Amino acid sequence: MSYEPQDGLPNVDATTPAVLVLPGPVAKDEVPRLCADVRARLKATRAGVVVCDVAGIGPPGLAAVDVLARLQLAARRAGGRIRLRDPDPALRALLGLVGLAFEVEGQPEEREPAGGVEEAVEPGDPAL
C-alpha cells in the first residue's frame, strides 16, 4: 500500500499543539522572528498552545526570562499561550522568582484542595 505525496501542509488536529524549539542562547534580534513564529503556529494549528522546547536555551538568566516573557505576551495577544518543554530546574526557579508562571509539559496543574478538606495537625506542631 502506498500513498501519493500531498501538496501543501499536512492536516493538523486542532488539539495538537505546535512545537517551537529554542536552540542555544537566543539573541535579542531573534526575538521578533520567534514571536512571529509563535503567532503563526497558533494561527495554523488553532490549538491555542505552542509548546516551547527550552532544553537548549542555554544558561538560565534574565535573557532567557526576557525571551520567554515576550513569547508568552505574543501568544496571549494572539489568543493563545505557551507551554514549556524540558525546562532546567534553575530556569523554572528563576521564572518563579520574577513572578512568571508557565505551564510545563508533563506537570499536573496546581489546584486548590477540594472544599471541606482539612489538614491533620500532629501533636506538638506549633500553632500558626
pLDDT digits (tens, 9 = 90+) for 15-36: 678 899 988 888 889 999 999 9
Q: How confident is the model at residue 2 (pLDDT cuts 50, 70, 90)?
A: very low
pLDDT at 85: 93
pLDDT digits (tens, 9 = 90+) for 91-123: 999 999 999 999 998 765 555 555 555 666 667
Indicate the domain borders of the chain: 18-104
pLDDT at 15: 61
Sheet with 81-85, strands from edge to edge, namely 18-21, 49-53, 81-85, 103-104
pLDDT at 38: 94
Give, in words, the CATH class of 18-104: alpha beta
Residues of the chain with pLDDT > 70, as a percent, come to 73
What lies within 8 Å, CB to CB, of 84 at 6+ separation is 51, 52, 54, 68, 92, 102, 103, 104, 105
What phi, psi does 118 have (nearest 5°)? -120, 145
